Amino acid sequence: MTGTALSLSELPSALAGKFPGKVTPVPGRKDMLAALKVLPEAIVPVSQFLRDQGTFEHCALVSGVDWIDRIEVLYHLWSDEYKGYLELSVDLPADEPHVASVTPVWSGANWHERETWDMLGVRFDGHPDLRRVLMPEGYRFHPLRKSFELREPEELEVKARHV
């Protein structure tokens, strides 16, 4: 917690100045304060910056989307100062996706990251306890991958790329 909190209008320029080329805004999101696309290697410093300078002290959600050719990890942050949500997204390769964990920044992200690992198979490097949370330990699939298709029980024959 150094310095005073930035105002919302200063935030994009401050981010762009601090992390040149690593943070790009995504246009067209009306229900958020802003949506930013972050390069995977910059996610922890950006998070740190947003928490300390941007007053985004509450990490509401870490989730993921399987776009088949890539995996998108989404972070939703809440600021009591601006009263709104900020969305960060990180694109990861579909094979062996892994990204640095933000649990050291917000301990509330702990179980969300575990769930994202459980459901989408995204590894969070530096996570203190990356176990499955909803599916049983030793389960072979990551069910929210698009390759995991729902079938009727009798024809349940799951084709998963990642086992």
Partner 1 sequence: MSEMWINMGPQHPMTHGLWNLRIKVDGELIVDADPEIGYLHRGIEKICEYRRYNEVITLMDRTCYVAGIAWEQLYIMAAEGALGITPPARAEYIRVLSQELQRLSSHIIWYAAYVQDIGLMTPFLYGMRDRDLVLDLFQSYTGARMTYEYMRVGGVRNDVPVGFTDRCRKVMDWLDGKLVEYEKVCDNSTIFLDRTIGVGILKAKEAIQDGITGPVLRAANVARDIRRDRPYSAYPEIDFDVAIHDGADCYGRYRVRMEEMKQSVRIVRQVLDWLDRNPGPVLAEKVPRFVGTPSPPPGKEIYVERRGYPKGRGFSSMEEPHGEAMAYIINEGAEHPYRAKLRSPVFVNIAAAKDYLIGYRISDIPAIMGSVDVCLGEADR
Residues found near partner 1 in the complex (CB under 8 A): 29, 31-32, 57-61, 63, 65-66, 74, 76, 78, 80, 83-85, 87, 106-112, 115, 119, 132-136, 143-144, 148, 150
Residue 91 gets the label, from left (phi > 0), alpha (psi -120 to 50) or beta, of: beta
Longest pairwise C-alpha distance within the chain = 61
78-116 in b/e burial notation, b at 16+ Cβ within 10 A? bbeebeebbbbbbbbebeebebbbbbebbeebbebbbbb
| Closer of 32 and 94 to partner 1 (Cβ) | 32
| Closer of 80 and 96 to partner 1 (Cβ) | 80
| Closer of 13 and 65 to partner 1 (Cβ) | 65
